[in-house]
């Protein structure tokens, strides 16, 4: 960082929080206590969902580096990219001199996480396992950034989730097969947060009892389960040929009734407030199957 840039950052920090800014602390999803001498002002956000969460609480302008696929809101597209897939450009992260690194725990190998910690900045690990964890993450990031909008964002998320659950969860169950990959054929189990999302809608994941979080299954197993709805997700919700293979089995209830559903992966697969937008779509599609059964 140049001297001028460092002086500007220091002045901005003093204006925003005053010379007497207090320390902040939060527990991350790895169980570590993240302590900052003052609220974070230079954040490297290494996951699309974390970048989106930071914008949701009003801290998006403090992100100085993010990942390749962080594309919401539009302002996120202008943030420098310092990571892609499962790799991070450690030199670029270090050059940004972050005072907080927020990272998706499952998004990178353990060696990368350790390398990030060696850079010296506190590392906040995000590993949401339930829908409620999204609201909790908003609050904890709000604590670490002293963002006034975090409480309202978390409360709005909880209220909307509760409303969806109250509306749909007790209705007549509808069996659902969620396809996350066609070849090899993979689904999700009851350990995945999206299983909870299906249950919010009053759906029942036909493979929720399997042990792996993302198990591989056979076509025969799906045929035996005979789900009423088959769901997948694609970027932007664009229909692809991912579910076309099931049309070879007209005896399947989902195929017979034309209930092959493609959701917006950019919403349903990210642990952000927008997940509920797509969850509402899923609940509507499941409810349609219920009413036409």
Question: C-alpha distances in angstroms, 126 versus 140, 172, 245, 271?
Answer: 10, 35, 35, 10
pLDDT above 70 for 246: yes
Q: Which domains are delineated in the chain?
A: 20-155 (3.40.50.1980), 171-291 (3.40.50.1980)
pLDDT reported for residue 19:
46
171: which residues sit within 8 A by CB, 6+ positions away?
202, 287, 290
pLDDT reported for residue 261:
97
Tell me the whole-structure pTM to 2 decimals. Answer: 0.89
248: which residues sit within 8 A by CB, 6+ positions away?
none
Three-class HEC string of 48-94: HHHHHHHHHCCCHHHEEEEECCCCCCHHHHHCCEEEECCEECHHHHH
pLDDT above 70 for 10: no
pLDDT reported for residue 45:
98
pLDDT reported for residue 85:
82
pLDDT reported for residue 14:
44
pLDDT above 50 for 4: no
Q: How confident is the model at residue 71 (pLDDT cuts 50, 70, 90)?
A: very high
pLDDT per position as a tens digit, 153-169:
999 999 999 999 999 99
Q: How far apart are CA 142 and CA 146, in angstroms?
A: 5
């Amino acid at each position: 960082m140049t001297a001028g840039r460092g002086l500007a950052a220091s002045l901005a920090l003093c204006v925003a929080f005053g010379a007497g800014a207090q320390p902040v602390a939060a527990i991350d999803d790895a169980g570590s206590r993240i302590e900052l001498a003052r609220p974070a002002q230079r954040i490297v956000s290494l996951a699309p969902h974390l970048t989106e969460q930071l914008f949701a609480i009003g801290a998006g302008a403090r992100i100085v580096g993010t990942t390749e696929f962080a594309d919401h809101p539009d302002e996120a597209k202008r943030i420098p990219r310092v990571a892609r897939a499962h790799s991070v450009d450690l030199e670029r992260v270090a050059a940004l001199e972050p005072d907080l690194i927020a990272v998706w725990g499952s998004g990178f190998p353990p060696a990368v996480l350790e390398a990030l910690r060696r850079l010296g900045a506190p590392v906040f690990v995000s590993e949401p396992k339930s829908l409620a964890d999204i609201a909790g993450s908003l609050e904890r990031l709000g604590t670490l950034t002293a963002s006034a909008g975090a409480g309202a964002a978390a409360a709005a998320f909880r209220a909307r989730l509760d409303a969806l659950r109250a509306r749909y969860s007790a209705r007549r169950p509808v069996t659902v097969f969620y396809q996350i990959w066609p070849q090899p054929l993979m689904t999700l189990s009851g350990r995945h947060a999206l299983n909870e999302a299906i249950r919010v809608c009053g759906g029942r994941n036909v493979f929720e009892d399997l042990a792996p979080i993302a198990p591989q299954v056979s076509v025969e197993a799906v045929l035996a389960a005979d789900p009423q709805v088959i769901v997948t997700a694609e970027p932007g919700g664009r229909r692809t040929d991912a579910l076309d293979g099931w049309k070879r089995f007209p005896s399947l209830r989902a195929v017979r009734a034309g209930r092959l559903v493609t959701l917006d992966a950019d919403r349903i697969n990210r642990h952000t407030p927008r997940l509920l937008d797509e969850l509402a779509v899923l609940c509507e599609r499941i409810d349609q199957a219920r009413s036409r059964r």
